[in-house]
C-alpha cells in the first residue's frame, strides 16, 4: 500500500510541475502565405508556415498543443476586421493546429504548418493585413498557459496581396508604398532586392526555402534602396525573401530557375 501511495504522490508532483510552467510561445515570423488567392467556388484557401520559439523560462514539452488563427484586416490607417480562420467572425478564437513532438528548451525554435479556408473571397484584387497568432495548451490539464495567451509576442502581421478568383492585377491606387520587390523573378544568377529603407539605415536580407530553413543572410549598405543578391548557388525552387530594418519588415516570393 505504501508503494502505491508513493506512485500516486509522484504523479501528482509531476502534474503540478507541468501545470505551473511559465511558458511563452512566441511567433517569430510568418513565411506563408505570401499571397492570398480567392477560389472560383467561393472562399480563400491558404497554407501557413510559422516560425515559433520558446520565449519563456520553462520548457515546452512534447504533447503540448499548438493552437493558431489567421485573420484579415483592411490595409488602412484604421484597419477594420474582415474575417478569420477558424472562426470567421472573431480574430480572438483559435483552433487546434498540431501537437508538439519534442521538448523545447528556452530559445528553441519550431516550424508550424497548417492549411485552412477563409469562408469569403475578394471580388477585386486588393491589399490586406494578414495577422497570424499562436499559443500553447498544457498537455497535463488541457488548459491554456495564461501568461502565454495574453502575450504580445504571439501575434504577427504582414501586408498581403489578396487576389480575386480571376487574379486581376493590383490597381495603382491599391499599390503599397512601402512594399519590397525582387527582379528579375524568376531569377537565374543574380536578383535585385528593392526596399524603401530610411536614410542611413542598414537592412538585413534573409532568404528562406518553403520548409522555413534559412538559406542566405546578407546586409545591405547604409541607405541603399537596392541590393544585389547572388542566387547562383541556390537550388531551383520557390523561396521567401525577407527584408528587415528596425520596425520595417516585409516579405515577398522569389522563384529561382537556372
Least confident of 177-181, 232-236, 241-245: 177-181
- In angstroms, rounded to a whole number, what is the distance separating the alpha carbons of residues 11 and 120? 47
| Exposure string over 214-253, b if 16+ CB within 10 A, otherwise e | ebbeeebeeebeebebebeebeeeebbbbbbbeeeebbbe
Question: Does 55 fall in a domain?
Answer: yes
Residue 107 contacts residue 24 (beta carbons within 8 Å): no
Write down how long the chain is: 258
Same domain, 68 and 148: yes
Q: Is the dihedral of CA 160, 100, 64, 106 positive or negative?
A: negative
pLDDT at position 72: 92
Same domain, 188 and 246: yes
pLDDT at position 7: 32
Q: What is the pTM of this model?
A: 0.60
Is 232 a residue whose pLDDT tops 90? yes
Question: Does 172 fall in a domain?
Answer: no
The enclosing domain of 181 has a CATH number of 2.60.40.3080
Amino acid at each position: 500500500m505504501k508503494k502505491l501511495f508513493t506512485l500516486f504522490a509522484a504523479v501528482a508532483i509531476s502534474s503540478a510541475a507541468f501545470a505551473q510552467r511559465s511558458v511563452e510561445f512566441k511567433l517569430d515570423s510568418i513565411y506563408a502565405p505570401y499571397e492570398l488567392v480567392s477560389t472560383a467556388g467561393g472562399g480563400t484557401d491558404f497554407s501557413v508556415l510559422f516560425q515559433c520559439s520558446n520565449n519563456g523560462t520553462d520548457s515546452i514539452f512534447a504533447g503540448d498543443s499548438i493552437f493558431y488563427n489567421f485573420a484579415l484586416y483592411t490595409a488602412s490607417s484604421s484597419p477594420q476586421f474582415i474575417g478569420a480562420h477558424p472562426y470567421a467572425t472573431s480574430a480572438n478564437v483559435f483552433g487546434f493546429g498540431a501537437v508538439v513532438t519534442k521538448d523545447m528548451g528556452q530559445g528553441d525554435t519550431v516550424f508550424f504548418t497548417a492549411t485552412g479556408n477563409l469562408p469569403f473571397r475578394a471580388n477585386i484584387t486588393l491589399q490586406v493585413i494578414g495577422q497570424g497568432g499562436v499559443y500553447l495548451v498544457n498537455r497535463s490539464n488541457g488548459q491554456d498557459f495564461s501568461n502565454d495567451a495574453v502575450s504580445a509576442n504571439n501575434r504577427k502581421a504582414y501586408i498581403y496581396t489578396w487576389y480575386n478568383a480571376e487574379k486581376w492585377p493590383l490597381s495603382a491606387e491599391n499599390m503599397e508604398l512601402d512594399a519590397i520587390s525582387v527582379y528579375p523573378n524568376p531569377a537565374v544568377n543574380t536578383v535585385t532586392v528593392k526596399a524603401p529603407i530610411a536614410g542611413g539605415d542598414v537592412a538585413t536580407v534573409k532568404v528562406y526555402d518553403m520548409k522555413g530553413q534559412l538559406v542566405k543572410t546578407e546586409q545591405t549598405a547604409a541607405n541603399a534602396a537596392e541590393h544585389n543578391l547572388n542566387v547562383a548557388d541556390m537550388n531551383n525552387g520557390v523561396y521567401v525573401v525577407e527584408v528587415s530594418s528596425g520596425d520595417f519588415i516585409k516579405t515577398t516570393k522569389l522563384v529561382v530557375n537556372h
